[in-house]
Amino acid sequence: MTKADLADRLYEKIGLPKKEATAIVETLFDSMKNILSEGESIKITGFGTFLVRKKGSRKGRNPKTGTELEIEQRKVVTFKPSLQFKALVEKV
């Protein structure tokens, strides 16, 4: 599913004009990106939580050459689904 598909669903379910629906979807995702880039988490009740997590540095290996290298610490975004969402997905 794409952002355009989400906008189409808003258009069909709520009856918003397509331009307005597209703007709402874009605004939502821009807001989410900004919040996550600041290191904050986003909790959507009944859906799940988006978390920013720090991964420490570690040793890795180049699979092609076999040489060891240091993988630097970094931040990653993770998603933890709510129990209701998990139950809904398992039904299908």
Residue extents of the structural domains in the chain: 1-38, 41-92
Structure tokens at 28: 């939502």
Q: 35-55, pLDDT tens digit by residue?
A: 999 999 999 999 999 999 999
Q: Is the pLDDT of residue 92 over 90?
A: no
This model's pTM is above 0.75: yes
**Is pLDDT at 80 greater than 90 in this prediction?**
yes
Mean pLDDT, residues 5-32 = 94
Query: In the CATH hierarchy, which fold is given to the domain comprising 41-92?
Result: HU Protein; Chain A (4.10.520)
pLDDT value at residue 91? 87
pLDDT at residue 33 in the model: 97
